[in-house]
Amino acid sequence: MPKLRLSATGLAANRGGRRIFSNLSFTLSAGETLVVTGPNGAGKSTLLRLVAGLLDSAEGRIELDPSPDNTRGECVHYLGHLDALKPALSLTENLRFWQRLWRSDANDIGSSLARVGIAHLASLPLRTFSAGQRRRAAIARLLLAPRPVWLLDEPTSSLDADGEAMLAGLVTEHVASGGVAIVATHRPLAITPTTMLTLRALEAA
């Protein structure tokens, strides 16, 4: 995985015509993790979407060094609140869709499912899965195509203790291999962050 540096300088974001955070800056180098905490509405999810390139900032800039050949989004895996999986398709069919979309065969689907503990569910439709099993399926997507930046929004949602330990191990392995991770969470994850960032809800005008 190529070494990189991710930096945000003077970021500000608006939602519904209201400023939710401003003058936010941080820098992450290869092998580092940022954990973002704060109350509901403080902008944790918005920050991750800005870094992913899904939203535009009101002020400031986000930079990757080296700069990507195409878009910043192609360097990023974003795991949001929704699992981005179709209930009518089997687990394997869902992951095969993402594998083809990303044009990646770096890791096979079977080994990715084994790593998140749901290989035995490969042929079953997602509509039969529990919330925790769907979350594990979404995490398996991170393993299909190596990307240096992981953006994880409340990633432990619906996971049991074993699932939380599994996820912590994957994040630790990712950053040890030279990746970076930004984790927005209300619950502690068994990782050692390089940096902590606490967002605070601004008073409505």
Which CATH number does the domain housing residue 68 bear? 3.40.50.300
**CA 106 and chain centroid, separation:** 19
> Which of 72, 67, 97, 205 is CA-nearest to residue 151?
72
Structure confidence at residue 146 as a pLDDT band (50, 70, 90) = confident
> What is the per-residue burial (b if ≥16 Cβ within 10 Å, else e) of 111-138?
ebbebbebeebbeeebeebeeebbbbbb
205 domain-assigned: no
What is the mean pLDDT of the segment spanning 194-200? Answer: 91
CA distance 83 to 100: 18
22 domain-assigned: yes
pLDDT of residue 189: 82
173 domain-assigned: yes
The total number of structural domains in the chain stands at 1
Count of CB atoms situated within 10 Å of the CB of 149: 22
pLDDT of residue 3: 75
What is the mean pLDDT of the segment spanning 79-95? Answer: 93
192 domain-assigned: yes
Count of CB atoms situated within 10 Å of the CB of 161: 9
Q: Which domain holds residue 77?
A: 5-198
Its pTM stands at 0.92
Structure confidence at residue 106 as a pLDDT band (50, 70, 90) = low
What is the mean pLDDT of the segment spanning 11-38? Answer: 93
Helix (H, G, I), strand (E, B) or coil at 166: helix
What is the mean pLDDT of the segment spanning 78-104? Answer: 91
Residue 69 has pLDDT above 70, yes or no: no
203 domain-assigned: no
44 domain-assigned: yes
23 domain-assigned: yes
Residue 67 has pLDDT above 80, yes or no: no
Residue 42 has pLDDT above 80, yes or no: yes
